[in-house]
Amino acid sequence: MTRVENSARVPGSFRDPSGFLFRREGILYRRINPAYRAHYDRLMGSGLYDDLVQAGLLIPHREAAIPGEAAPPGCVFIQPEVVPFISYPYEWCFSQLRDAALATLEIQRRALDRGMTLKDSSAFNIQFVRGKPALIDTLSFEEYREGAPWVAYRQFCQHFLAPLALMSRTDVRLGQLSRIFLDGVPMDLASALLPRSTRLRFSLLTHIHLHARAQKMCARSEGKARAGTLSRFSFLALVDSLRTAVGRLRREPGGTEWGEYYDATNYSAESLAHKKRLVGEFLDILRPRSVWDMGANTGMFSRIAGGKGIPTVAMDGDPSAVEMNYRQCRNENEERILPLLIDLTNPSPAVGWAHEERMSLAERGPADAVMALALVHHLAISNNTPLPDIARFLSRLGNSLIIEFVPKGDSNARRLLSTREDIFPDYAEGPFEAAFGGHFAVEKRSPVPGTERTLYLMRKR
């Protein structure tokens, strides 16, 4: 047995016999097995690889030699570009999933032009790189055989079309189904959850409702006859039809509780400007290599970090805020900011086979710096989380912290308490500093002028 077979295989990389990802001395490699070699050579030789990499639709790689270790006969080692932050479809807003779907279909169209096809179309194979969706699985291609239908059609519908249709036509929160159904939303479930009016739209009628019906009928029939074939032209027509289906789905972010937060904020323009300046100064002191902005809303403060060239993940639990943030990133080509839908009171867990296929949020850290601005009162008051617990969790997520304390006297905190009993005698600046002092050393402490709030710069002890 070779060292590679014994080495740390990336836990989610086990389904495809074409190869697998592994790490050696902290470097990520992909091994290409002999059985896949012909397809890989076709990818590289047909011009498809260059075409997709140039278009930003596929992450680049280089063939690599591992010092002191020969590749097994017929195998190739490649070293793919490292994606700074791995995100998952259940952490994407509607437009992110839609853009990822359209990117997948564009890749398939270009692959067909070069005599290849996608043999899988998992949404987990797409990552946001420099703000745009790109395929990270170099082994997703195989040679196209004339007449063969698309083996990944069902996966595309389950991973992309069904959740998008549900988010668009039923409820945007149904995007979270992807967290439960890792192989995509079952077609029968999507069909049952979609309103009847979707049967009047040809693309949804066929790709979802009839698809679900056909699956059910074929499951019963245990068919033994021969299937029809799909010519290359028909294949392209199918891909075009899916592109139309996805392209016509829309979802406009509605105003939600905190979606209009910055408009409804309780401090003046001067206070806001001062807070921004303080955040910028604290970032200049820390000079972090990565920032996680927790409770980022539409990303106003994430942009300060992004503007300094720091890769920044802007997390919020409000789908409308994340949607608006992503659209701004897309419109303004903000490559450094990755908006994600993450509720800090229930952050993404480790899921999948052996709890290892998809990482929890904490496993993807720690970030160099965590920003928690106007967040602690939500966790402490709305979610009843004790301050020491908040401090402990944030110390797992980041090596340093820019955090704002919002006292009970602040109108936003008062709003949270207006409909409930105040059971938080320890929610005050003293206990806050004591709780965080157990994990962090306070380096700076600055009041935000014109407010009762205080901004802290802390480093992990």
Task: Give the interface size with another protein as a residue count (CB under 8 A).
Answer: 47
The encoded tokens of residue 235 equal 């294949």
**Tally of CB atoms within 10 A around 104:** 30
**Among 226, 284, 346, 421, which residue interacts with another protein (rule: CB under 8 A)?**
226
Residue 358 DSSP SS3: strand
The encoded tokens of residue 460 equal 């992990």
Rule CB under 8 A: say whether 270 interacts with another protein.
Answer: no
**Among 240, 257, 332, 429, which residue interacts with another protein (rule: CB under 8 A)?**
240
Q: Closer to another protein at the Cβ: 82 or 219?
A: 219
Q: Supply the minimum distance, in Å, between the C-beta of residue 21 and another protein.
A: 16
d(CA 301, CA 431): 26
Rule CB under 8 A: say whether 42 interacts with another protein.
Answer: no
**Among 8, 65, 70, 151, which residue interacts with another protein (rule: CB under 8 A)?**
151
Q: Closer to another protein at the Cβ: 82 or 151?
A: 151
Q: Supply the minimum distance, in Å, between the C-beta of residue 377 and another protein.
A: 47
Q: Closer to another protein at the Cβ: 240 or 332?
A: 240
Q: Which stretch in 4-12, 223-231, 260-268, 362-370 sits in contact with another protein by CB under 8 A?
A: 223-231
| CB 360 within 8 Å of CB 333 | no
Q: Supply the minimum distance, in Å, between the C-beta of residue 32 and another protein.
A: 14
Judge residue 209's burial from the number of C-beta atoms within 10 Å of its C-beta, 0-12 exposed, 13-18 middle, 19 or more buried: buried
**Contact pattern for another protein over residues 116 through 135, marking x by CB under 8 A:** ---xx---------------
**Among 215, 271, 385, 446, which residue interacts with another protein (rule: CB under 8 A)?**
215
Q: Closer to another protein at the Cβ: 62 or 145?
A: 145
> How would you label 115-152 residue by residue, b for 16+ Cβ within 10 Å and e otherwise?
ebbbbbbbbbbbbbbebbbbbbbbbbbbbbeeeeebeb
Beta-bridge mates of residue 320:
none
Rule CB under 8 A: say whether 108 interacts with another protein.
Answer: no
Q: Which stretch in 89-97, 233-241, 275-283, 403-411 sits in contact with another protein by CB under 8 A?
A: 233-241
d(CA 122, CA 29): 20
CA distances from residue 219 to 157, 189, 304 in whole angstroms, order as listed: 18, 15, 54
Residues in 18-37 that interact with another protein by CB under 8 A: 18
Of the candidates 304, 303, 299, which has an alpha carbon nearest to the alpha carbon of residue 315? 299
Q: Closer to another protein at the Cβ: 71 or 236?
A: 236
Q: Which stretch in 62-70, 212-220, 282-290, 422-430 sits in contact with another protein by CB under 8 A?
A: 212-220
Q: Closer to another protein at the Cβ: 159 or 453?
A: 159
Rule CB under 8 A: say whether 206 interacts with another protein.
Answer: yes
Rule CB under 8 A: say whether 150 interacts with another protein.
Answer: yes
Q: Supply the minimum distance, in Å, between the C-beta of residue 151 and another protein.
A: 4
Rounded to the nearest angstrom, the gap between the alpha carbon of residue 199 and the centroid of all alpha carbons in its chain is 30
**Cis-peptide, bond into residue 347, ω within 30° of zero:** no
CA distances from residue 4 to 12, 14, 69, 70, 83 in whole angstroms, order as listed: 16, 14, 9, 10, 22
For β-strands 291-294 and 312-316, DSSP reports them as parallel
Residues that bind another protein (CB under 8 A): 15-18, 55, 119-120, 148-155, 157, 202, 205-207, 210-211, 213-219, 221-230, 233-238, 240-241
